[in-house]
Amino acid sequence: MDRVSKMVGQVAARLRENPRVTVFTGAGMSAASGVPTFRGGGGLWEGYRIEDVATPEAFERDPELVWRFYDERRQNLLKCRPNEGHGVLAEWSRRYPGFSVLTQNVDGLHEAAGTVNVTRLHGCLWDFACAAGCARSPRRWRNTEVPLAKVPPPCPHCGGMARPDIVWFGEALDPENWAVATGATRCDLFFAIGTSAVVQPAASLINMALRQGAFAVEINPDQTPATAAVDVALGLPVEEALRRIEDEVGRAPGLSHDSSCPSF
Ligand code: OAD
Residue nearest to atom 11 of ligand 1 (CA): 222
Ligand 1 probe mutation, 55, 89, 167, 199, most atoms within 8 A of CB = 199
Residues lining ligand 1, Cβ inside 6 A = 26-28, 31-32, 37-40, 50, 54, 104, 106, 122, 166-167, 194-196, 199, 219-222, 224, 237-238
Note down pLDDT in tens along the chain; length 264 residues: 799 999 999 999 999 999 999 999 999 999 999 998 887 665 667 677 887 889 999 999 999 999 999 999 999 999 999 999 999 999 999 999 999 999 999 999 999 999 999 999 999 999 999 999 999 999 999 999 999 999 999 999 999 999 999 999 999 999 999 999 999 999 999 999 999 999 999 999 999 999 999 999 999 999 999 999 999 999 999 999 999 999 999 986 654 444 333 332
Active-site residue list: 122
**Distance between CA atoms of 244 and 233, rounded to whole angstroms?**
14
Q: Determine the atom of ligand 1 nearest the C-alpha atom of 123.
A: 39
Residue nearest to atom 21 of ligand 1 (CA): 194
From the CA of 3, how far away is ligand 1's center (Å)?
25
pTM listed for this prediction: 0.93
Q: Determine the atom of ligand 1 nearest the C-alpha atom of 40.
A: 2
Cβ atoms 162, 129 nearer than 8 A = yes
Residue nearest to atom 23 of ligand 1 (CA): 27
Cβ atoms 250, 3 nearer than 8 A = no
Residue nearest to atom 26 of ligand 1 (CA): 26
Indicate the helix (H) or strand (E) that contains 127: strand 123-130
**Distance between CA atoms of 219 and 197, rounded to whole angstroms?**
12
**Distance between CA atoms of 210 and 203, rounded to whole angstroms?**
12
DSSP 3-state assignment of 116? coil
User: How many other C-beta atoms can be found within 10 angstroms of the C-beta atom of residue 150?
Assistant: 9
Q: Classify the C-alpha dihedral 229-204-54-30 as positive or negative.
A: positive
**Distance between CA atoms of 138 and 130, rounded to whole angstroms?**
8
Cβ atoms 26, 195 nearer than 8 A = yes
**Helices of type H across the chain:** 3-16, 50-53, 56-61, 63-77, 84-95, 109-112, 175-184, 204-211, 238-250
